Amino acid sequence: AQSVSQHNHHVILSEAASLELGCNYSYGGTVNLFWYVQYPGQHLQLLLKYFSGDPLVKGIKGFEAEFIKSKFSFNLRKPSVQWSDTAEYFCAVIRLVTDKLIFGTGTRLQVFP
């Protein structure tokens, strides 16, 4: 089945540790890719997005993601996490032929001081 997979369901890190959250999708054709963040009790906010061009995308708050087409992946990274990065992170994909945003199941990140 066509889907968006986030293999890390719950990640626990100490402050200053490096972060990488995996995202894989199974759609063929042209896609647009997104990472959203949801802080506790809040709605989703866009972290970064990829449409075309440079596969390394930089977003807000020091996050970046790399699109690797051959691996159908769009992993999220941050060199040094902060306690304030504690949140749930969602990868999402739009297939241009459908115009529907499909989400992964999310990764809960907890950062301890």
Partner 1 sequence: NAGVTQTPKFRILKIGQSMTLQCTQDMNHNYMYWYRQDPGMGLKLIYYSVGAGITDKGEVPNGYNVSRSTTEDFPLRLELAAPSQTSVYFCASSSRQGPYGYTFGSGTRLTVV
Q: Could you tell me the two tokens for 29?
A: 């054709």
Instruction: Write the interaction track for partner 1 spanning residues 1-20; mark x where CB under 8 A is met and - where it is not.
Output: ---x-x--x-----------
Q: Is residue 109 a contact residue for partner 1 (CB under 8 A)?
A: no
CB 9 within 8 A of CB 105: yes
Nearest to 49 by CA among 78, 76, 18, 79: 76
CB atoms under 10 Å from CB of 10, counted, come to 10
Taking the complex as a whole, how short is the minimal distance between the CB of residue 6 and partner 1, in angstroms?
8
Instruction: Write the interaction track for partner 1 spanning residues 19-58; mark x where CB under 8 A is met and - where it is not.
Output: -------------x-x-------xxxxx--x-x-------
- Binding residue (CB under 8 A) for partner 1 from 84, 105, 110, 112: 105
Look up residue 41 and give its DSSP letter.
T
β pairing state of 10-14 and 19-21: unpaired
- Binding residue (CB under 8 A) for partner 1 from 75, 104, 109, 111: 104
Enclosing H/E stretch for 110: strand 107-112
- Site of interaction with partner 1 (CB under 8 A): 4, 6, 9, 32, 34, 42-46, 49, 51, 90, 92, 94, 99-106
